[in-house]
Structure 1
Amino acid sequence: MDKTDLDILRILKKNSRENLATIADRLNISKATASRRIAKLESSGAISSYSLNINYSDLGIIKSLISIQIEGTAIDEVIEPIKSFPEIATISKVFGDYSLICEAYTKSVDELYQLIQERVVKLPNIRNVDASIIIATESSNFDPGLDILIRNAP
C-alpha cells in the first residue's frame, strides 16, 4: 500500500460516494487507475464496506456509552448476552477501570435506564456500570489512523 492508496482511503472515508473522476483529478491519476486501486483495496480487505453516517440526535435518538466493570475474567460470558440487546451497536474490550464500553442507542433516558437496570446489571459477574449520554461530538482529527500510515508511507 502506497501513499496514493492511502489518499484514496482518505477521500472515500470522507465521502464513500465520491465519484472516480473526482478521485482521479485530486490525485492526478486516471479514472482507470483509481478504479483498479479501489478494486484492489476492496479485494485485499482494506475496504471492507461503505457506510452512511446518520445524525441520530436529529431523529430523536439518544446515543450513549455504557462502561461495564466485570469481576474476574468473565468478559466473554458478559459479551455474548449483550450482543442480543438490540440497543447495543458496538462492544469494545478496553484496558482501564472498565472491561467493556458499549455504544447504545435509545429513544429516551428512561429506556437507557431500563436497559442498564433491567438487563445489563442483572448479567452475572457485573461489578459496576456507568453511562454517559453523548450530547455532541466534535472531530479533532478526521482519521488519525490514516495520518499515521501516510506519515510512514514509502
Structure 2
Amino acid sequence: MDGFDKLDLDLLRLIVEEPRAGVREYSRRLNIARNTAQARITKLEKAGVIVTWRPQINLAPLGYAVMAFVHVHIAQSQVNETLERLTAIPELIEANTVSGEGDLLCRFVARDNSHFEDVLQAVMKTEGVLRTRSEIVLSRRIWPRTIPIVEKLRAEN
C-alpha cells in the first residue's frame, strides 16, 4: 500500500459508494480542502487505483439476461491476434488471461440460451480458438466489490 494513507482510503470509499457526489462534497465530508481532495483523486488515478468513472451497468434489464463465463483455449502463436478478433463479438464484455483451465476466461452476455449458443458458435469460429468450455451464470449473488478490501487496508494502516 505504498504511498496511500487513511485519507486516501477514506476518499476512495466515498468515491466507490457515491461516485456522483463530486470533489466538493468529498472534501466537505472529509473536512479537507477541495484542492487536497482533487490532488488525492489525481494521485489515485495516476497510480491506477481508480481505473474508470463509468457506472456499473446491469445488462439484464436491457434484454441480455444470460451471462456466461467461457474458458477459451487459443493457439499460443496467435494470442494477441485471437483476442483482437474476439473483441469483434459485442457480447464479449470481459476477457482475462488466466492460469489453469484455458488461456482466457471471458464473460459473455446474451439475450437467451439460444442467442448464447449463437455467440458461442461465433467464438468457436474465431481464428485461433481451439476449444471452449462454458459455464452459464444462474444468478449473480455478489456484484463486483472493492469496499471490503479498502476497509481491510484502512484497518491495517
Instruction: Please confirm whether the aligned pair reaches a TM-score higher than 0.5, indicating the same fold.
Output: yes
Q: Which residue of 1 aligns with 2:73?
A: 69
8 Å contact from structure 2 (residues 70, 105) kept in 1? yes
Cα 1:142–1:124 shift into 2, 3 Å: closer
Q: Percent identity?
A: 26
TM value normalised by structure 2: 0.76
CA RMSD of aligned residues (A): 2.8
Q: Using the alignment, how far apart are the partners of 1:140 and 1:134 within structure 2?
A: 12
8 Å contact from structure 2 (residues 94, 106) kept in 1? yes
8 Å contact from structure 1 (residues 20, 34) kept in 2? yes
8 Å contact from structure 2 (residues 85, 127) kept in 1? no
Structure 1: gaps spanning 5 or more residues: none
Moved more, 25-34 or 129-138: 25-34
Q: How far 1:82 sits from its partner (Å)?
A: 0.5
Q: Using the alignment, how far apart are the partners of 1:116 and 1:150 within structure 2?
A: 42
> Is residue 2:20 matched to residue 1:17?
yes
Moved more, 98-107 or 10-19: 10-19
> Is residue 2:38 matched to residue 1:35?
yes
Classify the secondary structure of the residue corresponding to 1:121.
Answer: helix
Q: Which residue of 2 aligns with 1:105?
A: 109
8 Å contact from structure 1 (residues 65, 134) kept in 2? yes
Give, as a single letter, the amino acid of the residue that structure 1 aligns with 2:8.
D
8 Å contact from structure 1 (residues 16, 51) kept in 2? no
Give, as a single letter, the amino acid of the residue that structure 2 aligns with 1:16.
P
Q: Using the alignment, how far apart are the partners of 1:139 and 1:39 within structure 2?
A: 29
TM value normalised by structure 1: 0.77
Which of 132, 136, 141 does residue 133 from structure 1 map onto? Answer: 136
> Is residue 2:69 matched to residue 1:47?
no
Q: Deviations over 1:21-62 (max 9, x none)?
A: 543354343444323322343355443420112222223212
Aligned length, in residue pairs? 152
Classify the secondary structure of the residue corresponding to 2:60.
Answer: helix
